[in-house]
Amino acid sequence: MSGHPEAEIYHRQGMGKSAGMGQRPALVMVDFVVGFADPAHFGGGNIAPAIAQTVKLLAFARAHRWPVAHTRVVYAEDGSDAGVFTLKAPSLLKLTEHSPLSQIVPELTPVAGEHIVRKQGASGFFDTNLASWLRYQGADTLVVTGCTTSGCVRATVVDSLQHNFRTIVATDCVGDRAIGPHEANLFDMGQKYADLMTRAEIEAAAG
């Protein structure tokens, strides 16, 4: 994202450095569920291509025995665990445990040993055991994919950094319902919170 017209101000202020990849990467896939793959519900934009690229990255992660986690937004059937997030976006309440919309897309179906994180907030870390599970797995680096780039991906990336994980956003494996927010948030995350790498670059660095 170095070609961004305002990148120079960040460069002058000493931002945009690389944290690099550590010794033990883990893959976290944020909210790649049926509802976010469907433009009639929560999807659109470039989410479908991001899922297609993540299929390849997941295969790589499994082959290299990385810890793998999937996140889902899951609310109680009666909405009893709803919060202010659902006042801003009431349609999220459709994402209940057994709703077809809240199921992980078939292309990324979890296998034994992969952690499924149920959350009611934006970040995969907020009020979940994701951080402790990753520490138990020995992870020092998080490779983040998912949707939406400007929402739950960004929230997860910021919290990843704050838990002192080296954080990499797989740029072609994240998507948003609108391209403007996608591009703006990739740029900003790259300056302050994460390294930006394509799937191919991640696989080359980790291979």
Would you say residue 24 lies in a domain? yes
Would you say residue 4 lies in a domain? no
Which distant-in-sequence residues (6+ apart) come within 8 Å of 78 by Cβ? none
- What is the pLDDT at residue 3? 63
Kindly report, residue by residue over 123-168, the tens digit of the pLDDT. Answer: 999 999 999 999 999 999 999 999 999 999 999 999 999 999 999 9
Q: What φ, ψ does residue 168 adopt, rounded to 5°?
A: -125, 130
pTM: 0.95
- Asked if residues 30 and 147 have their Cβ atoms less than 8 Å apart, the reply is yes
Would you say residue 8 lies in a domain? no
- What is the pLDDT at residue 6? 83
Would you say residue 149 lies in a domain? yes
| Spatial separation of the C-alpha atoms in residues 170 and 63, rounded to whole Å | 18
Question: Annotated catalytic residue: which of 108, 152, 189, 197?
Answer: 152
Q: Tell me, what CATH number does 184's domain have?
A: 3.40.50.850
> Cα angle vertex 129, ends 174, 115, to 5°?
60
Would you say residue 2 lies in a domain? no
Residue 152 is among the residues annotated as catalytic for this protein: yes
- What is the pLDDT at residue 2? 52
Band (pLDDT 50/70/90 cuts) for residue 107 is: very high
Q: Which domain does 90 fall in, by range?
A: 20-206
Would you say residue 76 lies in a domain? yes
Name the domain count of the chain.
1
